[in-house]
Chain A
Amino acid sequence: MKITTLLLIASIMQVSAISYAQKVTYSQKNITVEQLFREITKQTGYNVLYPDKEINTDRRIDVDFNDTFLDKVLTQVFKGLSISYKIENKNIIIKKEDPSFLERLAERWASIDVSGRVVDADGRGLPGASVSVKGKGGKAVSTGADGSFYLKGVDEDAMLVISFIGYVPKEVKAIKELGHVVLELSTSKLDEVQVIAYGTTTRRLSTSNISSIKADQIAAQPVSNPLLAMMGRVPGLQITQSTGIPGGSIKVRIQGQNSLQQGSEPFYVIDGVPYSSQTLFTNINGAVGGSQSALSFINPSDIESIDILKDADATAIYGSRAANGAILITTKKGKVGQTKIDLNIQNGFGKVTRKIGLMSTQQYIEMRLEALKNNNNTPVSSTDYDLNGAWDRNQNTDWQQELIGGTAHYTNIQTNLSGGNEQTQFLAGASYNRESTVFPGSYSDVKANVHVNINHTSSNQRFKFNLTNSYQQDLNKLPTIDLTGIALNLAPNSPYPFKPDGSVNWGIVNGVPTFTTNNPAAVLLQKFKGKTNNLISSSTISYEIFPGLQVKSNLGYNRLETQEVSTTPQTSFSPTLTRNNRKAKYGTNYVSSWIIEPQIAYNKDFSWGHLDALIGSTFQNSDNAVDAFDGSLFANDSQLENSRAAGTIVASTNTMQSKYRYSAIFGRLNYRFRDRYILNSAIRRDGSSRFGIENMFNTFYSVGGAWILSEEEYLKRSLSYINHLKLKVTYGTAGNDQINNYEFLSLYQSYTPNGVPYQSTVGLLPTKHSNPYLQWEVTKKLNFGLDLGVFNNRLLFSGNYAINRSSNQLTSYPLPVGTGFSGVLINLPATVQNTSWEFLLDASIVNHKAFSWQSSFNLTIPKNKLINYPDFENSAYYNTLIVGQSLGIKKLYQYAGVNPTTGYYEFNDHSGQKTSTVDPAIDKTQFVDFYPKFYGGLNNTLNFKNFSLDFLVQFVKQIGENYQFGSLLPGFANKNQPQSLLNRWHNISDISNVQQVTTSFDGFDPFNNVLESTAHYSDASFIRLKNLNLSYNLPPKLISKLHISKAKLFAQGQNLMTITNFVGLDPENQSTGSMPPLKIFSFGLQLTF
């Protein structure tokens, strides 16, 4: 045993100064033993030497010595403590006796055993809370399943520190029966719970790069898709809404595009159940096109929190599925307390955010006549209805106003019933949501939803059960086509498409219909109806075998099912069409999956640190099926939805069934020493049916470490205004498996050439090369992070720098046709790198009871780069990408204006020569990067008495496709064009940036080329007031008489204002064919009974 000695400095200074008597006179109450030692030294000159680990000198005693001999003093002080002493050469050497069994037993009686129970404000036990004796090397235990603990051998009067993630730590004096120790929830953002894979953590203790969105932020936004609620709020997360039509697809990228050819969607998990992000494709398109966002079948008001997992430390445990990050959605759970009813009613309306300045009829006709003149003075023809008098040359209709200028209505009603006691809590909710469109006519998307959650804990708190069921039904009755494109192109003097009785106006002149192409009324007659049911059921069962060791299992089931029909009635065709052209498409599809994840979790406080360990396994099965068929030759329009009325029914080639199976073993180890040094490591071994027999299994791992510097004593002392300072670094791998099922298999498919089977038998032929080696794309992720909290954590900063390298890219590799097929899907060692700087600043600027102001700012600077692509010259990407550049680039001609003589666009070719005839293979010398340079958001929350104001400003810096050159070949046909065409080239020697209008085919090449040139791409950055929420809480006095505990009136807005230089409709979706995101205003009332 090594003995450290403590030399009392005071004694050295007084050596031999006095003649020492070996008697002590000292009378004092509640002094420490150390104080007594000092006194002894002072009075006797003897040094007191002792091993400081063995002798508790902090012990407080009462002494009363009057000229007492030293040995008697010492005997009395150490009485009953099995401590011996000896006096040698003016040194008093104190040493612990090796205690005998009996003595040890006696010792036990001297100290006390503390028992108690740690609970939250609702009285529920907090399992896993840490109870430790204050001071160096103090004992520590974790609380059991019901929050109770038992700490043996604590010195009486010692202080206990009780702490638990997410709660304010508490110090209590040790007494035998502590009873309930109530921990208050921490209000600091640092202690907010973050949901991670198979567990939870906090911003304070996490080693990962995770961002969270909470229910109140979601509730502030009138959106029907939870993904939209995250826009502009999360660093490293880019969300783009591709259309303003309800249910439309939404592009989500966490830290950029990782995969060259396959999906880069994040991995979605709802209450532990993996959820597919896009619905199946049935070849039936509603207005939103082939793919709907499956997340639109999740009710945003059921969500408690959304956690975005970005780095390897957080995602490696999801293995092959989370290379593109993971989005964890946690739904609301019942809470202990009185039964309460929440009611939320909201009503609003929406409009398109922007319009394009188009030509008036006068300007339009001028352009059309000029186009004819420019083409060798072509006369106006009998089919130029816009010019030859068939259409009113004085009518001037703003088609954007007529077709997309309407008002969409938004209604949302949500009720929740919740409550429960300590053992059982429940929550039941129902909601109704209806959204319509800005198109003329009544088109809507209606959702009804039921959400039920039950939690049960056994009385001894060891058995726990949790069940959540969400069921949503969606009825989508939207048109089959988006009218936005038509609105931009219709000639301003086109006849009005609807007759007063609502039927189609075909513009019949002299018996000939003149308004047959793109007639909006005809298009709107083609109907779509989609019915979607979504059931998500999840459950967790757990049992604590002994304190700290828990066995549990997640169970989940999801079935997403859609029935669709789209109809094309005869009335949607020109009356001159005599052929029976009635058509209907029918389709059903479903994704049905279950998952079982048994786990064993162990967590315990040891004197050498806190340990959290988890091992588990996953079994997942998913079945998909699409059944689609087309009907034609119906006798009349009214029976189109009835497939039995079809003259012929043909199965669609999209009909398919597939199965996906997945299993894994995973483990995680989290070690925390003195809440200062944290080490986190995860590993997962994955097997997936998507991959080849030779490579079905793969292992993913991560290692992460964090150092909370602010807990170091020296920093605490020297920089006291720093409350929290953490450095972290994580590294690991995750995979991407977003390919179709069976890609590795050599599959044979039915082959019937052009309808006549050979020997009356359907043949079977191989469809592709099989690749039994097919495996995951792997992303290696390195993340550096710094968290800082200053001024009582009122200012919190979080910065991350991530480097993600995705390799093993699943790409189609070109093969000589002689091998049977022209390519095979392989893992190519091409590498895509995404780096991103992510910053988040949370400030609590004013924090008074009457007035508070909270602000949050986030910024992301991403960079994407194709680092390596073997045999690039022979790849399919040779003409579109450049090694060393972003995947978001587009190769372009260098625009050189309009040739003053010919009036056609010119470009600088590869040798720098101006020309109107370019070669796409060599003259595309320029490139632009579509991916944003940076993006972010600024959120402010102000509370003044009963008022609360919350607003979010989103910003994106990027380049996009503009609309300054118009569409088709301007002037060629009866299509309206943007106002920018007014500055066109008219005569020889005109200097202009817009070429002549013409009906000559010669105009097409330069026009098409200008759309592939640098001038067609320009700044599409924008700053947008994304969300505004103003609410007023009615004074309690006013409402208490009505038995209402809380009443809130609110007004919300989405996409309210946009600042941009973008030339086109909307800088976000940058499309001229699909509806821009809508500007939505809504008003509502929230009541709690």
Chain B
Amino acid sequence: MKTYYHILKRIVNRLCLIFLLGCVFSCKKFIEVEAPITSVNSGNVYKENSNAAAVLTGIFAKMSSNGFSSDLSLYPELSSDNLNALQFSDSELSYAYYKNAMSSTFEASFWNKNYEYIYYANAALEGLSQSTTLDPDVKKRLLGEAHFIRGICYFYLTNFYGKVPLLVSTDYKVNAKLSNSSTEIIYQQIIQDLLLSQQMLDDKYVDATIIKETPNRVRPNRSAATAMLARVYLFTKEYSKAEIEASKVINQSSRYSIVGIDNTFLKNNQETIWALQPVNLGKDTQEGYFFNYPSEGPNSNNYAYLSSDLLESFDSGDLRKIKWISDMTIDGVTFFYPTKYKVRDGNASDPKEQSIVLRLAEQYLIRAEARIQQENIEGGVSDLNVLRTRATDFSAPVSERLKLLSAITSKQEALLTVERERRAELFTELGDRWINLKRTGSIDVVMTKAAISKGIIWAPFKAIYPIPNTEIRLNINIIQNPGYQ
């Protein structure tokens, strides 16, 4: 009996010592827990190819679900002279965009959503660059995608809100205090992101594995970065660079070409550079759902109609007016609405159309303008004619066909022609009219005229939207845009 207790005593003694010492040295290890199986710890996300890729896939899914492209195709177009809105009580925000009566108390969907994508992109950039376990090709490509997302989001943010805070990390302590950056600095960041993206992406379109090639053009590739870069150089007036980048895309004729007017918005056509895949059950694109009227006519979901100014701006015989615009007469009033996307109710599991964000036609417009700006008017005009050719109905009698542009001698006139062609080609697409009116400086002239039919008075400050008040309240370093203080 005595030995039994003796042994027990020794065991207990030692156990006790081990526990106490063990605690001192291993407590920290003991209480560091892994993330639950039902979610993934940020530290582990970027350890495996599939998880890391799922983050970028998630961002595209979120952008598509949140209406990244449809919002852009609607609200700034309402602000411009292209699109009008009927007033319904639940479309108050749209109506404010239309009446150029934005207020800092409105919900700022562009602000909130773009910064959300930027946060995701920043998180991905931080996680990816710290990771050492990913397949190098996958890592490079995902980094390229994240840079691309950040670049395009800042492009729209600065075009709508002017000077915005430039957040390039996920550290909320820093970010919550950042002040506005100048547009020059923001453009520098955009160009840097897009250059990196261009470098890191390749020409292939890949699926969610990031390795396998796919005909689906729903992940950005090198050309997407190049196309964005071309646009950004146009905005920063670096015309030779814009021409070079646009040419890089245009010259890939095996991958990209101008397709028939009926096919321009179909899924995976040769003109698409980058599109978002529809993800909402029972719908194809949100653009199609929004712009196409149901048989009963406009309602609180479908309240936008094209302005007569836009309708009148088309040359006669322009197929773009004929094929991309429809009309409906309700109670004796005729409403014209865009039908670039034809499917209103569809099936996201097997969509006919996808929300196209970048397409080749714009590259021709960019190059045309860049060439004209560099005094190559002839080259510019020939680019414009590529698009006019597509818009020509060759089955119609010659007199009723859209005319190709003849030689233009004046640069001024050529630039105006580009502006008209842009409008005809890219109306109700990604706010193109609004941001280009601002870029070319013609906004005040155009909007003063448009203000009359809108029943408002135009003021230059309205070209920039207000920063939401709630943001300024929480970050006193943010300065409100002029006119909204």
Does B119 contact A816, Cβ atoms closer than 8 Å? no
Residues of B within 8 A of A697 (CB): 27-28
The answer to whether B349 has its CB under 8 Å from any CB of chain A is yes
Does B31 contact A818, Cβ atoms closer than 8 Å? no
Does A748 contact B40, Cβ atoms closer than 8 Å? yes
Q: A463 vs B348: C-alpha distance in the bound complex, in angstroms?
A: 72
The answer to whether A656 has its CB under 8 Å from any CB of chain B is yes
Choose the segment among B7-15, B137-145, B429-437 that binds chain A (4+ C-beta atoms closer than 8 Å): B7-15
Q: A816 vs B478: C-alpha distance in the bound complex, in angstroms?
A: 10
Does A619 contact B23, Cβ atoms closer than 8 Å? yes
Closest to B280 in A: A754
Question: Pick the contact of A756 from B13, B34, B123, B348 — CB < 8 Å?
Answer: B348
The answer to whether B86 has its CB under 8 Å from any CB of chain A is no
The answer to whether B101 has its CB under 8 Å from any CB of chain A is no
Question: Pick the contact of B120 from A458, A543, A766 — CB < 8 Å?
Answer: A766
Query: A746-B42, A747-B42, A819-B172 known; A764 and B58 CB under 8 Å?
Result: yes
CB distance from B38 to the nearest CB of A (A): 5
The answer to whether B257 has its CB under 8 Å from any CB of chain A is no
The answer to whether B116 has its CB under 8 Å from any CB of chain A is yes
Closest to B115 in A: A818
Does B280 contact A756, Cβ atoms closer than 8 Å? yes
Does A758 contact B115, Cβ atoms closer than 8 Å? no
The answer to whether B471 has its CB under 8 Å from any CB of chain A is yes
Residues of B within 8 A of A762 (CB): 54, 57
Residues of B within 8 A of A819 (CB): 115, 119, 167, 172, 175-176
Choose the segment among A75-83, A108-116, A659-667, A1004-1012 that binds chain B (4+ C-beta atoms closer than 8 Å): A659-667
Query: A763-B55, A763-B61 known; A662 and B31 CB under 8 Å?
Result: yes
The answer to whether B358 has its CB under 8 Å from any CB of chain A is no
Closest to B60 in A: A758
Does A816 contact B176, Cβ atoms closer than 8 Å? yes
Q: A156 vs B175: C-alpha distance in the bound complex, in angstroms?
A: 83
Does B279 contact A754, Cβ atoms closer than 8 Å? yes
Q: A688 vs B32: C-alpha distance in the bound complex, in angstroms?
A: 8
Q: A359 vs B15: C-alpha distance in the bound complex, in angstroms?
A: 73
Residues of B within 8 A of A751 (CB): 58, 61-62
Question: Pick the contact of A758 from B27, B61, B473 — CB < 8 Å?
Answer: B61
Closest to A749 in B: B39
Q: Mark A738-757, 1 if CB is under 8 A from B, else 0.
A: 00011001111111111111
The answer to whether A767 has its CB under 8 Å from any CB of chain B is yes
Q: A127 vs B473: C-alpha distance in the bound complex, in angstroms?
A: 66
How many A residues have CB within 8 A of the partner chain? 70
Closest to B2 in A: A460
Q: A403 vs B370: C-alpha distance in the bound complex, in angstroms?
A: 81
Question: Pick the contact of B61 from A747, A752, A817 — CB < 8 Å?
Answer: A752
CB distance from B186 to the nearest CB of A (A): 13
Interface residues of B in 1-57 (CB under 8 A from A): 1, 5, 8-9, 12-13, 15-16, 19-20, 23-24, 27-28, 30-42, 45, 51, 53-55, 57
Does B62 contact A765, Cβ atoms closer than 8 Å? yes
Residues of A within 8 A of B59 (CB): 763, 765
Residues of A within 8 A of B165 (CB): 818
The answer to whether A696 has its CB under 8 Å from any CB of chain B is yes
The answer to whether A824 has its CB under 8 Å from any CB of chain B is yes
Q: Mark A637-653, 1 if CB is under 8 A from B, else 0.
A: 00000000000000000
Closest to B22 in A: A617
Query: A662-B31, A758-B277 known; A598 and B20 CB under 8 Å?
Result: yes
Does A818 contact B175, Cβ atoms closer than 8 Å? yes
Residues of A within 8 A of B55 (CB): 748, 763-765
Query: A756-B280, A758-B218, A759-B57 known; A657 and B12 CB under 8 Å?
Result: no
The answer to whether B408 has its CB under 8 Å from any CB of chain A is no
The answer to whether A917 has its CB under 8 Å from any CB of chain B is no
The answer to whether A769 has its CB under 8 Å from any CB of chain B is yes
CB distance from A555 to the nearest CB of B (A): 12
Question: Pick the contact of A551 from B12, B216, B478 — CB < 8 Å?
Answer: B12
Closest to A660 in B: B33
Does B36 contact A761, Cβ atoms closer than 8 Å? no
Closest to A661 in B: B31
Question: Pick the contact of B123 from A543, A657, A766, A818 — CB < 8 Å?
Answer: A766
Question: Pick the contact of B208 from A658, A661, A758, A816 — CB < 8 Å?
Answer: A758
* Highest count of chain B CB atoms <10 Å: which of A553, A662, A766, A816: A816
Does B115 contact A745, Cβ atoms closer than 8 Å? no
The answer to whether A770 has its CB under 8 Å from any CB of chain B is yes
Query: A598-B16, A756-B279, A758-B61 known; A619 and B54 CB under 8 Å?
Result: no
Query: A742-B36, A749-B39, A758-B218 known; A688 and B474 CB under 8 Å?
Result: no
Closest to B473 in A: A874
The answer to whether A615 has its CB under 8 Å from any CB of chain B is yes
Q: Mark B194-225, 1 if CB is under 8 A from A, else 0.
A: 00000000000001100000101011000000
CB distance from A935 to the nearest CB of B (A): 39
CB distance from A459 to the nearest CB of B (A): 8
The answer to whether B104 has its CB under 8 Å from any CB of chain A is no
Number of residue pairs spanning A and B whose beta carbons lie under 8 angstroms apart: 229
Residues of A within 8 A of B12 (CB): 541, 543, 551
Q: A817 vs B57: C-alpha distance in the bound complex, in angstroms?
A: 22
The answer to whether B281 has its CB under 8 Å from any CB of chain A is yes
The answer to whether B278 has its CB under 8 Å from any CB of chain A is yes
The answer to whether A390 has its CB under 8 Å from any CB of chain B is no
Q: A742 vs B64: C-alpha distance in the bound complex, in angstroms?
A: 29
Does B172 contact A661, Cβ atoms closer than 8 Å? no
Question: Pick the contact of A745 from B35, B349, B475, B478 — CB < 8 Å?
Answer: B35
Q: A824 vs B40: C-alpha distance in the bound complex, in angstroms?
A: 19
Q: Mark B465-485, 1 if CB is under 8 A from A, else 0.
A: 000101101110010000000
The answer to whether B291 has its CB under 8 Å from any CB of chain A is no
Q: A741 vs B119: C-alpha distance in the bound complex, in angstroms?
A: 24
The answer to whether A793 has its CB under 8 Å from any CB of chain B is no
Residues of A within 8 A of B58 (CB): 751, 758, 763-765
Q: A543 vs B470: C-alpha distance in the bound complex, in angstroms?
A: 64
Q: A655 vs B30: C-alpha distance in the bound complex, in angstroms?
A: 26
Residues of B within 8 A of A815 (CB): 172, 176, 474
* Highest count of chain A CB atoms <10 Å: which of B41, B122, B478: B41
CB distance from B391 to the nearest CB of A (A): 33
The answer to whether A884 has its CB under 8 Å from any CB of chain B is no
The answer to whether B65 has its CB under 8 Å from any CB of chain A is yes
Residues of B within 8 A of A750 (CB): 39
Query: A661-B31, A753-B65, A759-B57 known; A617 and B208 CB under 8 Å?
Result: no
Does B471 contact A657, Cβ atoms closer than 8 Å? no
Does B9 contact A543, Cβ atoms closer than 8 Å? yes
Interface residues of A in 529-559 (CB under 8 A from B): 541, 543, 545, 551, 553
Question: Pick the contact of A661 from B33, B42, B54, B214 — CB < 8 Å?
Answer: B33
CB distance from A717 to the nearest CB of B (A): 48
Residues of A within 8 A of B278 (CB): 756
Residues of A within 8 A of B9 (CB): 543, 545
Residues of A within 8 A of B40 (CB): 747-749, 764
Closest to A654 in B: B38
Does B31 contact A687, Cβ atoms closer than 8 Å? yes
The answer to whether B382 has its CB under 8 Å from any CB of chain A is no
Interface residues of A in 586-630 (CB under 8 A from B): 596, 598, 600, 615, 617, 619
Residues of A within 8 A of B64 (CB): 753, 758
CB distance from A625 to the nearest CB of B (A): 9
Does A689 contact B33, Cβ atoms closer than 8 Å? yes
The answer to whether A821 has its CB under 8 Å from any CB of chain B is yes
CB distance from B126 to the nearest CB of A (A): 10
Does B280 contact A753, Cβ atoms closer than 8 Å? yes
Residues of A within 8 A of B37 (CB): 657
Can you identify 7 A-B contacts, CB atoms within 8 angstroms? A551-B12, A661-B32, A663-B30, A689-B32, A747-B42, A815-B176, A820-B118
- Top 6 closest pairs, chain A to chain B, by CB: A763-B58, A820-B119, A753-B65, A761-B208, A758-B61, A746-B42
New A-B contacts (7) at CB < 8 Å, excluding given A617-B19, A688-B31, A819-B176: A600-B16, A659-B36, A662-B31, A687-B30, A742-B39, A758-B61, A817-B112
